[in-house]
Amino acid sequence: MTGHAVNYDFEGTTHVGHLATPDGGGRGPAVLLAHEGPGLDDHVRGRAERLAALGFTAFALDYHGGPIEIGAAFERLGMLAGDTELTQRLGHAGLDVLLAQPGVDATRVAAFGYCFGGALVTQLARTGVALGAVVGFHASLPPGTVAQNQAITGRVLMCLGTADPIVTADARHEFEAAMIAAETVQWGMELYGGVGHTFTNPEADLLGMPGIAYDEFADASSWRSALALLETTIGTP
């Protein structure tokens, strides 16, 4: 497996993603990843490399445009949350990089998103792009309209903690109601009792913020569920 930074252009700005490819090059299925709110870090780079070790070509996009100070990152998140079209264009730019990799089968692509990255890949799926699976880990949950959700072509899985102070029970219920109203969406939600936000990131505890903590069980369980969904949607390498 090899992993390295990839510079790519987004509307005149250089963004820096992370591409991970299997030994011998990618052949077949691929996964797009979108990072947490503070920016692309070793956590999501590492997830891309874990996928590459399993044989998937994986690209972790950058939706901020390089390293960003934490205050500026959260200000940008507020802007992105209110601009669906910009969020979708950022997703498409990352997807274009992934699809341009040699050997990637454009009919066998999935997307993983963490925190706001989960909202990004969901919004990307709402453009009707061919994603066989969309998985959100402690993901923001923009509910979307019926028409937007009916444009989703693949299966959706959201993995969430019930004690998440950011993605609340009300947000979960609103998202669930939107998925049900769309009727055609194939979706699911996996909940972990007493688990907070950022549960997949071993460095979450360093933030010292209530409700934001790593959880070994939820991390391992959500990863297994995500891989099982890949197997049944885009297949194994």
Per-residue pLDDT, 25: 72
Report the share of the chain in percent with pLDDT over 70. Answer: 100
Q: State mean pLDDT over 1-13.
A: 94
H/E element, 33 = strand 28-34
Across all residues in the chain, what is the average pLDDT?
96
Alpha-carbon gap, residue 43 to 49, rounded angstroms: 10
Alpha-carbon gap, residue 59 to 108, rounded angstroms: 14
pTM: 0.97
The CA–CA distances, whole Å, from 114 to 26, 86, 124, 148, 230 equal: 23, 18, 14, 21, 17
Q: What is the DSSP string of 135-195?
A: EEES-------HHHHHT--SEEEEEEETT-SSS-HHHHHHHHHHHHHHSS--EEEEEETT-
- Whether the pLDDT of residue 221 is over 80: the answer is yes
- Whether the pLDDT of residue 22 is over 80: the answer is yes
Q: State mean pLDDT over 54-68.
A: 96
Vertex 83, ends 145 and 210: CA angle to 5°? 90
CATH top-level class of 2-233: alpha beta
- Supply 211's token pair: 């409700």
Query: For 140-150, how does the pLDDT look when each residue is reduced to its tens digit (9 = 90+)?
Result: 999 999 999 99
Q: State mean pLDDT over 51-55.
A: 96
Query: For 159-213, how does the pLDDT look when each residue is reduced to its tens digit (9 = 90+)?
Result: 999 999 999 999 999 999 999 999 999 999 999 999 999 999 999 988 778 999 9
- Whether the pLDDT of residue 235 is over 80: the answer is yes
Per-residue pLDDT, 26: 66
